[in-house]
Amino acid sequence: MSEDTTSQSNGFSTRAIRAASTAPVMRQRPNAVPIYQSATFSAEDAGELGDILGDRVPGYAYARIDHPTGAAMASAIAELEGAEAGHPFASGMAAIHAALLASLSAGDHVVATRAIYGSTQALLQRVLARFGIDATFVDPTDLDAVAAAFRVRTRVLYLETISNPTIVVADLERLIGIAHERRVRVIVDNTFASPYLCRPAELGADLVVESCTKWLGGHSDVIAGVVTGGSAAVEQVRRIAVDTGGNIEPFSAFLVLRGIMTLAVRMERHCASALAVARFLETQPGVDRLYYPGLPSHPQYQVAQTRLRAGGGMLAFDLGSRDAAARAIDALRLPPRTASLGSVHTMAVHPPSHTHRQLDDAALAAAGIPPGLVRVSVGLEDVEDLIADFGAALAASGSAVHA
> Catalytic residues, which ones?
64, 117, 189, 214
Whether residue 276 contacts residue 346, with contact meaning beta carbons closer than 8 Å, is answered with: no
Say how far residue 360 (Cα) sits from the centre of its chain: 24
Q: Rg for the chain (alpha carbons), in Å?
A: 23
- Three-class DSSP category at 185: strand
Q: List the one residue out of 377, 2, 44, 78 whose CA is nearest residue 238.
A: 78
CA gap 394, 333 in Å, rounded: 12
CA gap 376, 350 in Å, rounded: 9
What residues have CB less than 8 Å from 234, skipping those under 6 apart?
83, 84, 85, 86, 87, 207, 227, 228
CA gap 339, 349 in Å, rounded: 6
Q: Is the dihedral of CA 150, 229, 225, 128 positive or negative?
A: negative
Q: Which amino acid is at 13?
A: S
CA gap 393, 330 in Å, rounded: 8
CA distances from 253 to 22, 72, 97, 207, 235 (A): 23, 8, 19, 20, 19
Whether residue 176 contacts residue 186, with contact meaning beta carbons closer than 8 Å, is answered with: yes
Q: List the one residue out of 214, 164, 179 whose CA is nearest residue 342.
A: 214
Q: What is the dihedral of CA 314, 319, 322, 323, to 10 degrees?
A: -120
CA distances from 54 to 49, 119, 148, 242, 249 (A): 8, 33, 43, 11, 21
What residues have CB less than 8 Å from 254, skipping those under 6 apart?
32, 33, 34, 35, 69, 73
Length of the chain: 403
Q: List the one residue out of 233, 231, 218, 304 whose CA is nearest residue 264.
A: 218
